[in-house]
């Protein structure tokens, strides 16, 4: 990509009015002398469906898009995925246009691993409870496999989704012990890590997916929600003495990895982080 190029990007999702992805990618562009446009594309606001918006992006000159809740699994059905691990995840959050077929990627998977290591270093995850097995949950679960998690407790309102994820994980982590639970509080017993991959706690979905008392004895907690950054779930976790990994960290690293795919250009990650924090992005 040349220094004078304009990169047309976008984000398809619901409830994304406060998404900071446009800011991240514009700042990444500024570092590289690239003008970036990044549009929020909300199906209900545009009165058209996901498929129509997605197909329109290819026609309207978008170089690439991000896909967020609740469309990541739908997006995976509309793209070519070269990476067998991402095919196993069954969800994409980054799409590139320009070839015979759109190409799909998942930077939630790699972004979660980077977020975990940023806070926890080389510490083992221990036994982990993950609540929510949708698009981001699937990516985080494969990230846990990459981090060496040996025991995973899955909770979802739809047990069939949890069962499908457990089956998919066998392709990359055949020795992982996976159990499926109905109640999150019971599933949390004996877990070192506790993860929220539901929208509960997001702006418009207030609350917490797990009672504060169920966090006792855990070591770390991660919340995929990042608007707001300091969710009630993470507040409860911090009060219980857990190390907390905010959804902002996942947002940051998935964005850094998506930028590399979109542009083929590098980044000064420390400078980008500092710029975002200075602009109040991590508050």
Domain membership flag for residue 1? no
- For residue 69, pLDDT over 60 is answered with yes
Cβ-proximal residues to 84 (8 Å cutoff; 6+ apart), any chain? none
- Is residue 71 among the annotated active site residues? yes
Instruction: Determine the Cα–Cα distance for residues 50 and 43; give it in Å rounded to an integer.
Output: 6
Query: Is 86 within 8 Å of 92 (Cβ atoms)?
Result: yes
Average model confidence (pLDDT) across the chain: 95
Q: Are residues 51 and 152 in the same domain?
A: no
CATH number of 53's domain: 3.40.50.10860
- Give per-residue pLDDT as tens, 205-243: 899 999 999 999 999 999 999 888 999 999 999 999 999
Domain membership flag for residue 258? yes
Sort strands 94-96 and 64-67 into parallel, antiparallel or unpaired: antiparallel
Q: Are residues 149 and 202 in the same domain?
A: yes
Instruction: Determine the Cα–Cα distance for residues 102 and 104; give it in Å rounded to an integer.
Output: 7
Q: What angle do CA 61, 53, 22 make, to 5 degrees?
A: 65
- The tally of CA atoms less than 13 A away on the side-chain side of residue 137 is 26
- Hey, which residues does 67 pair with through a beta bridge? 12
DSSP-based three-state secondary structure for 35: strand
Domain membership flag for residue 65? yes
Domain that residue 84 falls in? 6-106+249-278
Q: Are residues 157 and 44 in the same domain?
A: no
Q: Are residues 19 and 96 in the same domain?
A: yes
Q: Are residues 66 and 121 in the same domain?
A: no
Cα–Cα distance list, 263 to 65, 84, 235 (Å): 12, 23, 36
- pTM for this entry: 0.92
Residue 4 or 137, more confident: 137
Domain membership flag for residue 66? yes
CATH number of 209's domain: 3.40.50.720
What pLDDT is stored for residue 226 in this prediction? 87
Q: Are residues 233 and 122 in the same domain?
A: yes
- For residue 18, pLDDT over 90 is answered with no
- Hey, which residues does 38 pair with through a beta bridge? 9
Domain membership flag for residue 283? no
Confidence category of residue 5, pLDDT binned at 50, 70, 90? confident
Confidence category of residue 2, pLDDT binned at 50, 70, 90? very low
What pLDDT is stored for residue 210 in this prediction? 97
Q: Are residues 212 and 122 in the same domain?
A: yes
Domain membership flag for residue 44? yes
What pLDDT is stored for residue 4 in this prediction? 46
Active-site entry in 62, 69, 71, 116: 71
Q: Are residues 113 and 241 in the same domain?
A: yes
Q: Are residues 87 and 120 in the same domain?
A: no
Instruction: Determine the Cα–Cα distance for residues 15 and 40; give it in Å rounded to an integer.
Output: 10
Instruction: Determine the Cα–Cα distance for residues 29 and 214; give it in Å rounded to an integer.
Output: 43
Q: Are residues 120 and 53 in the same domain?
A: no
Domain membership flag for residue 194? yes
- Give per-residue pLDDT as tens, 71-105: 999 999 999 999 999 999 999 999 999 989 999 99
Kindly state the helix (H) or strand (E) to which residue 8 belongs, with its residue range: strand 6-12
Q: Are residues 243 and 142 in the same domain?
A: yes
Domain membership flag for residue 30? yes
User: How many folded domains does the chain comprise?
Assistant: 2
Q: Are residues 153 and 265 in the same domain?
A: no
- Give per-residue pLDDT as tens, 104-147: 999 999 999 999 999 999 999 999 999 999 999 999 999 999 99
């Amino acid at each position: 990509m040349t220094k004078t190029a304009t990169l047309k990007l976008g984000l398809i999702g619901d409830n994304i009015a406060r998404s900071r992805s446009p800011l991240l990618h514009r700042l990444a562009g500024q570092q590289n002398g690239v003008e970036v446009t990044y549009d929020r594309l909300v199906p209900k606001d545009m009165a058209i469906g996901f498929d129509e918006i997605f197909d329109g992006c290819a026609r309207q000159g978008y170089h690439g898009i991000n896909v967020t809740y609740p469309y990541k699994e739908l997006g995976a059905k509309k793209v070519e995925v070269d990476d067998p691990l991402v095919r196993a995840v069954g969800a994409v959050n980054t799409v590139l246009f320009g070839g015979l077929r759109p190409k799909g990627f998942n930077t939630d998977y790699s972004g979660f691993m980077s977020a975990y290591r940023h806070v926890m270093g080389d510490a083992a995850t221990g036994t982990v409870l993950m609540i929510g097995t949708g698009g981001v949950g699937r990516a985080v679960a494969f990230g846990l496999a990459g981090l060496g998690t040996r025991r995973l407790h899955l909770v979802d309102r739809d047990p069939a989704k949890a069962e499908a994820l457990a089956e998919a994980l066998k392709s990359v982590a055949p020795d992982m012990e996976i159990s499926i639970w109905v109640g999150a509080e019971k599933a949390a017993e004996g877990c070192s890590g506790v993860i929220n991959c539901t929208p509960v706690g997001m702006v418009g979905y207030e609350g917490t997916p797990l009672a504060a008392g169920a966090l006792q004895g855990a070591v770390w907690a991660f919340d995929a929600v990042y608007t707001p950054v300091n969710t009630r779930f993470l507040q409860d976790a911090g009060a219980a003495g857990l190390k907390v990994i905010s959804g902002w960290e996942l947002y940051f690293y998935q964005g850094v990895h998506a930028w590399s795919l979109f542009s083929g250009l590098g980044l000064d990650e420390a400078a980008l982080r500092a710029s975002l924090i200075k602009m109040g992005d991590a508050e």
